[in-house]
Chain A
Amino acid sequence: MDEQVIFTTQNTGTVCNVHSLEQTSLRQLTVGSAHSAVQIGERYLLVAQSQKALINVYDISGDHKRESVEQRIPLPEVVCCLETVQNLQDSPQAADLSLPWLLLASTPSGKLYVWEMNSGFLLRVKQMAHYQSITKIQSICNGKYVVTSGEDSRVIIWQTTDLVCEEEPKPVCILHDHTLSVTDFAVSSTCGDSNVRLFTASQDATLRCYSLNLSRSVEPKQLATFTCPYPIQCLALDPADRACYVGTSQGVFNLSLYYRISGDKISNLIQETSTNKLFSLVPEPQESRDKLYSRGSLQVDKIVEANATRLEVSLDGSLLIVGDNDGHVAITEIFSKQVLRTIQPLTTAASNGAVTNLLIATQWKSSSQPSLTQRHNFSKIPALQRNIHDKRDLHELWFQIGQQPQSNPPQSNFEEYLNQVQAEQMLWSQSSTTPKPSAAPIPTAATSATVTADEDSKDQEIAQLRENLTTLKGAYAELRSMHQTLLEDRQ
């Protein structure tokens, strides 16, 4: 088991692992904007190219990654953010081509494109989804909703079925509390109906927390606002919502959401019942924690001193992966604030630019499962169309259903197999022709016994056949003679 980290800078792309030292760099990559890469299953990595209306597709499956571009998908125009909406939760992995349902892409002008990936059909283009460039798209709640944030300082929640069905999709709700561009947002990974928490970070140096009540109507409620001394560039959420990591140009801060005021007092900063409590984050406090708290200030620890542009948290929530402005990725332990490892792109270029995308995925590799490392055929993703699809035709999907792993009955369930044998045995013993072992069961002279037995039976058979033959012959002769006499009589 290992965690795979994929990160891109302006002109490099790197695939590496958190706990082992493998590193592969992807070729021919130019990335302009954040959140422009998306991973599909264990196979494909889609990266939107800057200044070109292209998506590069890389095959990142298996142990030995291919560095070259496997497929280039042309687009109607340059896009900046990408996101997919998953189709079925339990799709068999064995299929060469298992694609998500939708591919969402946004343009610098704020348009939102929606493609159906299996057919490549362009289902919808939402003009002016945002008034300025979209900074991040994410599908939440098993793809029922899509959240977008933009430089127009708004965060919009869409219903996915609206995006594909309605002529002119309307957002389910719009959050416009920020005053400057929204740089990043995060949604809690647990998805109860009413308790989805949305954290939004913005250039206006605030971090806002909403509770999205998604069960019957989206009624987002702002639970808390945290002001930070610096503009917030990125954001990551602990997998269990215990802490929020805030990346600024002056470092990454750890905001614990169950905040210890003093000694044994703990405050739940974002509880469901509070209405927009205002806190300010203080990185280097001069006063004690409770004094600060009484004034509505919170002490936050600085984890890394870096100009962070992307953040991710590992599976167990103990490691923070920080992508910085120089194109380096640091794996940091949150508790000890130690940098465990720094990963750099394998290039000779003097500067690679800031880290634009940072994806983390946990992979499980079993020793008895070598098929995963086997190279499959690379099945191409259907080309994305430029015109909005008109529904009255065949609407062909490229689809492959994976094969379920098989095992034969005696291996998978020997007991059942034996039971079946027993049942059949029952039939044999009930039958009139009781099963007889080939001959006299004298194990000492087994082979000879069967041979003699065989001969015996043969002899018997021959004798019987001979008898038959003679009777038949007799009968025939009789008939013949009768025939003869009759014939003669006629003549």
Chain B
Amino acid sequence: MSSEILPLTTLAKQLEYCEGSQFQLILKKLTSPAYIDEQLLKTELPLVATKIQKLLRSNQDYDIWKGCHASVVLCSYNPLALCVHGGQLLTVIYSRLEQKTEYHSASSEAFSEKIVLKSLTSALSILMDLMRGKPTLSRESLVPKLKAIIPCLVDLTALEPELCLPILKELLLKNSTTFRPYANKYRQVLSKLISQEYGNLDPNVQSLVCENYAYLHLIKLQAQNSQDEHQAHHKPFHDETWRIGILSILAQFKPILELCDEMLDLDHDQDLKKLIKSLQYDNLYPTDLPTSDKLLPGLKVDLNEPMTLWEIPQRLNLLIDLLSPFLSLPTPYAVRIPLGACISVFEGLLGMTRNFLPLRREIRRDAELVSVIYDVLSHVQFSGVRLLNVLVQNFGKCCLSMLPSILGSLEFFIPLQLKSKSIDIKRCKLMKSEFLQYFQLLNSIFPHIGYQLQELDFFQKLVEVALALSEDENLANLLTNEGPAKTQSNKAGKKQRKDNSVGALSDMYTHADQFILRTSLAWYDQINLFLSGLLSNLKLPSSQQVKIIRYGVQKSLGWKQQVGHIPESFVELLRAIVVNPGNERVSILPIAVSLLKGSSDELFDLLCHPRLPVNLIHNVKGLANSIEEQNQEELLSNEDLEEAADEPEEEESQEKEENVEIESNTKRQIPETESEPEPPKRQRLNTNVPLFQAQNTEILKVDNEPPVVLKEEKQVEVVQEQQPASAQEEASDSESEMVIPQIQLSDDDEE
């Protein structure tokens, strides 16, 4: 065996000097399972390990980088190396990291330093991941070193949060006891990031910061001056700290909502006022803990400077960013989630609507202020939508016990025109991305609900918004419209401003189609999902139904013409429309089928060529060799049947009833029969139809034969139609009597 594989020693030598693609080849070689050999343990593996260590210790950044990758690959694919040399490698890596950290500062922009830091940290985290869960390795090699690794990473976090936060997050979750001494320091680092630099971080790092902050609550908070020694003997639940973390965030919503009281006249809604008053949670935990409410500075909001009002939604978003990891992160033990409180906060946030609440009298005059307030309020509401989204994603049906109030509050999110009940579509368009999340939320709630819903009005509004926002928007058209649309266009697109001031406007009039804002496929996917869910769960009024049908058909056709295929979500929507025709008497089955021409869509195929056993009795042609016997049997049995058919009159009458039933049923299930005068259904019944699954015994009986043949030769036919062929003159009469209504039925259908 050893003759075929490249000896490790050569690899080790090459490793030292290789460059570029050669290095990648060596990495690839190192993954070979041939090196997991105990004979290599004495000489060759140590050689590789020392070479890697040497690379890591080198003062060339490039060598360190190579060493990191080599050690990671070696340890992940070679358990021998991991167990024997993993500890040493880890030591070297983290000591290098420590050295690099010392000299590293935010100002040093050398890219090589960044790469080295990145590879050192990622190697560190991968090695730690590999060692974790293996009892001896983690006891001997990992945990003792964590005491040095953690403070080093904590220090680096302030400068390179992106690199350190994922590692520290893992450490907090899996080694929370070892982390304990450094928790306070880490909290300070994170607090600084949250309170001062949060807005400057990229979203990924933002969420990492919040997740780390949440995980800090796996470690018991220490009061700054722990006086209540007498409380110490009360053994709290495991999750006490976690709960305090949640409550301390929830408690901060109340003052912000009370700020909104300065803008909106909440006296008109006493319930909401009461609700906001009840959002008092800071009495549920001791005040001397370093909780999040001490973390954030006070808001500086001044009604005389309207732009400062934007701090309100920003702060709310920060709070929800902080809160959501508490609700969604995996924890080592079960934690208590104050769902009721979260829903109350959600209701409070969504309650900040201008649909039903007037602005305070004294600020109504200031146009600038009013417009900012309206924008701010809708973002306040949106933060509520985000909160509920987190709740529904994680707790699913547990939210359903508060469903009526949730749906009621969600309705407030749709902006209405002042003093009327019609929807303010323009405002909706301004918040398109927010509405995308809103529909996502609705889509995750709907599958849990049955059909019986009272809030039909709400759903009609939703359909209207969904369809209005799905239109592509032409920015140039906005300009040509007069009056209020003009002010709108300033916000909607900067393009025109530019054109206005510098260049000629002619392009906008001649090539208006170049200024279209297209709706993204992601949006369509959500909307289609929403609409199909709605169609299958509710019976919508005719006008809405028609609108949805028009949207589905037009957009599908548009996609087909422009792109050449119809996206999956539109196919789903078409299916939903066909299967749930609602109160409409027309079916779009022919349209849908011709739109999807050539694509093998099973559902539509089934609808056009129903394979269901429509008749009560079927003739199954068995295997070719047994046909003759069966024919004989049939002779007998048909005679029997014939007799029988005369005898029990009730059965016949039943059968007639049944036929009527069939008629109505087919109308309901396959509504295309009305719009399409010649359904191919009748003819198809004669053709080969896959046999529905028979009884177990039957399957086993025919098992001796090759199944392919079986499929080909089996044939289901309507008894009566097959009858004349089987040369039974007498029998066919009575048989056809039994059958006639069914043939007539098909005629009826066609009428």
Contact = CB atoms under 8 A, between A and B. Distances in A.
B665 interface: yes
A85 B397 contact: yes
Contacts of B72: 408, 410
Contacts of B340: 391-396
B509 interface: no
Nearest to B622: A264
Given A268-B618, A400-B335, A215 B640 contact: no
Specify the main secondary structure of chain A where it touches its partner.
loop
A384 to B, nearest CB: 15
A436 B112 CA distance: 13
B697 A335 contact: yes
Nearest to A192: B579
Interface in A264-299: 264-268, 271-275, 277, 288, 290-291, 293-296
A425 B23 contact: yes
Given A379-B334, A446-B13, 9 more contacts: A161-B452, A243-B696, A273-B661, A294-B643, A395-B343, A396-B243, A397-B398, A401-B394, A437-B63
A460 interface: no
A177 interface: no
Interface string B663-675: 0011001000000
A322 to B, nearest CB: 16
A268 B634 CA distance: 18
Interface string B618-636: 1111100000011001101
Interface string A44-81: 00000000000000000000000000000000000000
Given A262-B637, A264-B620, A164 B400 contact: yes
B746 to A, nearest CB: 13
Interface core residue of A102, A256, A399 (most chain B CB under 10 Å): A399
B693 to A, nearest CB: 5
11 contacts: A161-B452, A263-B630, A268-B618, A273-B662, A288-B640, A294-B641, A335-B700, A400-B333, A401-B394, A403-B330, A425-B23
Interface stretch (A33-41, A416-424, A467-475): A416-424
Interface stretch (A6-14, A126-134, A138-146, A197-205): A138-146
Q: Classify chain A's interface size.
A: 35 or more
A240 interface: yes
Interface stretch (B253-261, B368-376, B515-523, B532-540): B532-540
Given A242-B694, A268-B692, A273-B661, A400 B331 contact: yes
A317 B129 CA distance: 44
Given A193-B536, A295-B644, A443-B13, A165 B401 contact: yes
A428 B112 contact: yes
Contacts of B14: 443
Interface string A116-158: 1011000100000000000000000111110000000000000
Interface string B390-411: 0000111110111110000000
Nearest to B393: A88
A397 B536 CA distance: 32
B216 to A, nearest CB: 17
A258 B641 contact: no
B709 interface: no
Interface core residue of B537, B640, B651 (most chain A CB under 10 Å): B640
Given A264-B622, A402-B330, A437 B658 contact: no
A441 B15 CA distance: 12
A438 interface: yes
Interface core residue of A87, A427, A435 (most chain B CB under 10 Å): A435
B617 A267 contact: yes
B63 A438 contact: yes
A261 B539 CA distance: 41
A230 interface: no
A453 B612 CA distance: 84
B229 interface: no
Contacts of B17: 437-438, 441, 443, 446
A123 B16 CA distance: 69
Contact of B661 (A274, A295, A296): A274
A263 B612 contact: no
Given A421-B27, A436-B62, A264 B619 contact: yes
A30 to B, nearest CB: 30
A243 to B, nearest CB: 6
A410 B637 contact: no
A273 B658 contact: yes
Nearest to A145: B450
A367 interface: no
Contacts of B338: 394-396
Contacts of A17: none
Contacts of A160: 400, 450
B456 to A, nearest CB: 12
A411 B127 CA distance: 12
B112 A144 contact: no
B422 interface: no
A435 B19 contact: yes
A175 interface: no
Contacts of B485: none
A240 B693 CA distance: 9
A288 to B, nearest CB: 8
A343 interface: no
Given A159-B452, A264-B619, A294 B696 contact: no
A438 B58 contact: yes
A422 B669 CA distance: 58
A187 interface: no
Nearest to B75: A410
A489 to B, nearest CB: 42
